[in-house]
Amino acid sequence: MSDCIFCKIIAGEIPSKKCYEDDEIIAFHDIHPVAPVHFLVVPKKHINSLMELEEADTPLVGRMLFKAQEIAKEQGCAEKGGRFILNAKKDGGQTIDHLHVHFIGGKTLGFKMC
């Protein structure tokens, strides 16, 4: 998608602080971290949101979650864990319309659902 910020990051047109990359997935630190550890795991394939997921993409989402927990461990969160977040569309607070998983950790987070 030509006007998608995350597609531009994937293409190397916008710089990012990468923490992982393979053929299908890229992970980079969030530009506005809300905790000491805050990175995003993003599929290279442009999918608008989880609400647009096709059944054929389910292995990809599994790999995104698997990589997210691997990177979280690398970033020092193995013992204490953290939060995996997937915002979807307007009511979910999604601001970038390219599927992504947030990982937030490095501090104890409060429990707040809305």
CB 17 within 8 A of CB 75: no
- How many residues sit in the footprint of ligand 5GP (CB under 6 A)? 12
User: Residue 61: CB partners within 8 Å, gap ≥ 6?
Assistant: 43, 50, 53, 99
Q: Does 49 bind ligand 5GP (CB under 6 A)?
A: no
Give the DSSP letter of residue 31: S
65 phi and psi angles, rounded to 5 deg: -70, -40
Q: Does 5 bind Zn ion (CB under 5 A)?
A: no
What stretch of H or E contains 86? none
In 3-state terms, what secondary structure has residue 64?
helix
46 binds, among ligand 5GP, Zn ion, none (CB under 5 to 8 A by kind): Zn ion
- Of the residues 29, 32, 46, 100, only one is catalytic, namely 100
102 is catalytic: no
Q: Which is nearer to Zn ion, 6 or 103 (CB)?
A: 6
CB 20 within 8 A of CB 26: yes
Q: Where in 5-34 is the site for ligand 5GP (CB under 6 A)?
A: 5, 14, 16, 28, 30-32
Q: Does 94 bind ligand 5GP (CB under 6 A)?
A: yes
Site residues for ligand 5GP per CB under 6 A: 5, 14, 16, 28, 30-32, 87, 93-96
Catalytically active residues, by annotation: 100
